[in-house]
Structure 1
Amino acid sequence: MAEHEEGAEAAGAAEDTAGETGLPAGVETAWGLRVRAPRGPARGLDVPRIVEAAIAVADAEGLGAVSMGRVAKGVGVSTMALYRYVASKDDLLILMEDAAVASPSPGPPVEDGWRAGLEFWSQGIRAVYEQHPWIMRIPISTPPLSPHSVEWMELALSYLAGTGLSAEEQLGVLTLLGGYVRQQVSLSTDIQAAASADGGTWENVERRYWTLLDKLTDRERFPAITALLESGELGGQDGAEVEEEGTAFEFGLARILDGVELHMARRGEREAEGEGPGASS
């Protein structure tokens, strides 16, 4: 069955090589530049329905559960029939990500400042990843190309447009924030999965960790860890205040934005001193 599916995928991919744009078939489909003409009867079936079914599988069971055969079964057609609408699994993943990301909600006005805008952008991307964590399991092969991903990039850059940062610096800020959000949500998702597999909450897992670390370490060899443990302030320790959900994420986000703000200030100082725009720190 797997060999049959791979053969069908290869045939579909060969038939749907990149068009005049040079873009993958899935990207062209997402932008409305390519409409596959299905052969044979498949009443009520179209690309959005296929993508919706694939997202439902990924949301429920993770990206690993998504296959062309599984999605075809979900929409009630043969695997071969599915290839009449989507050229390959890679193209399906592009369409799934684009649909799940969706268009960003209107953010604060640019007049509210770049920082408010980027905080909104970061929290918005975070919400998308938390709702569809499988997105983070899709291999990154290119910068954002699908329409909704480009819309999110446009939103972020609109807040950076008046900051005086160079184009390269603006993209650097965007990459830094995007990577931070992705890493934090990925870590949080893995932690919650580990806690669920352990049959408890993350607080219980954390409490056991600190207890074990206390037994394994000593003041002479690990003085900094010992001081940390003796502070009684660690999450999961008896008597310690439970950290509000999201606090760690927002702390890190604020520190990144502090760094960007400091860079802008130093850049302004250099330009005022006559070093000219674009001088590096």
Structure 2
Amino acid sequence: MTELPGYLAAAWGKQGKPTRGPKPALSLERVIAAGVSVADAEGIEGLSMSRVATELGTKPMSLYRYISSKDELIALMLDRAGGPPPPMTAEDWRSGLELWSRSYLATLRAHPWIMRVPITGPPATPNQLRWMEAGLRLATGFAPGDAMAVLLLLSGYVRSWATLSADLESANADPETMMVDYGAVLDAVVTESEFPELTKAIRAGVFTFDPDEDPDVDFVFGLERILDGAESVRSD
């Protein structure tokens, strides 16, 4: 039997429990929840074992009874914050994968620090696999390999868009001011002789902020193009 890395053993509840010593005052779940709370409030940069210990009202060394390292804690925090996917049903594969993508985007936006954690391997924790299972269930009509490739493409696209959104929010960029200012800057520096195509876009109002427009209109555009391409490899 394959021996699981420490964080996976903990995530799947296959970690051995101490049989000696005093009864633990905390629990692994409480430590993970405290880590998520700190990261939600202060970003992943604010996370440390000492900060989590303060959140729990204990000493840093006491955490190592439940967790072996900060990296292990972060791996478990990712699984907890990502959570299981919400119930998803759809009339067809396309609306199903769109719903999956929007749900994943909402999850990342609820915990923007997730995008600041480097990806070091394929999904293997319980909730990560539940998201994968949900996506595969919705990806009807695809060969198994193609379905996985589509999910990989969608998850990368969603993560990229969520990162962009988080970057703008962290910079305290007001969407209305940003778009109006950007259009004004372009209009002041762009000349038709040097930038004829960009001039056409400016005149067409591409950079003009529309308060009635869906703020995720560009996300939807890209998502639809990905699904258009995915349709070409479906087997039925």
What is the TM-score of this pair, normalised by structure 2? Answer: 0.92
Tell me how many residue pairs correspond in the alignment: 236
Q: How far apart are 1:43 and its partner, in Å?
A: 5.6
Task: Show the counterpart of 1:62.
Answer: 43
Say if 2:7 is the partner of 1:30: no
Given the superposition, is the C-alpha separation of residues 84 and 38 from structure 1 closer, same or farther in structure 2, using an over 3 Å criterion?
Answer: farther
Given the superposition, is the C-alpha separation of residues 82 and 210 from structure 1 closer, same or farther in structure 2, using an over 3 Å criterion?
Answer: same
Task: Show the counterpart of 2:146.
Answer: 169
Given the superposition, is the C-alpha separation of residues 41 and 235 from structure 1 closer, same or farther in structure 2, using an over 3 Å criterion?
Answer: farther
Task: Show the counterpart of 1:123.
Answer: 102
- Contact kept? 2:34, 2:55, Cα under 8 Å: yes
Give distance in 2, aligned partners of 1:235 and 1:23.
53
Aligned pair partner of 2:181 in 208, 212, 237: 208
Q: Structure 2: which 5+ runs fail to align?
A: none
Q: How far apart are 1:29 and its partner, in Å?
A: 0.5
Larger Rg: 1
Say if 2:172 is the partner of 1:191: no
Task: Show the counterpart of 1:15.
Answer: none
Q: How far apart are 1:21 and its partner, in Å?
A: 3.3
Higher relative contact order (CA 8 A, sep 6+): 2
Q: Structure 1: which 5+ runs fail to align?
A: 1-19, 269-281
Given the superposition, is the C-alpha separation of residues 117 and 38 from structure 1 closer, same or farther in structure 2, using an over 3 Å criterion?
Answer: farther
Same amino acid, percent of matched pairs: 39
What is the TM-score of this pair, normalised by structure 1? Answer: 0.78
Give distance in 1, aligned partners of 2:25 and 2:60.
16
Q: Which amino acid aligns with 1:72?
A: A
Structure 1 vs Structure 2 CA RMSD: 2.0
Give distance in 2, aligned partners of 1:42 and 1:213.
65
Aligned pair partner of 2:231 in 222, 236, 261: 261
Aligned pair partner of 1:84 in 65, 76, 79: 65
Runs of 4+ in 1 over 3 A off after TM superposition: 38-44
Task: Show the counterpart of 1:218.
Answer: 191
Greater shift after overlay, 112-121 or 45-54?
112-121
Q: Which amino acid aligns with 2:229?
A: G
Q: How far apart are 1:180 and its partner, in Å?
A: 0.7
Task: Show the counterpart of 2:132.
Answer: 153
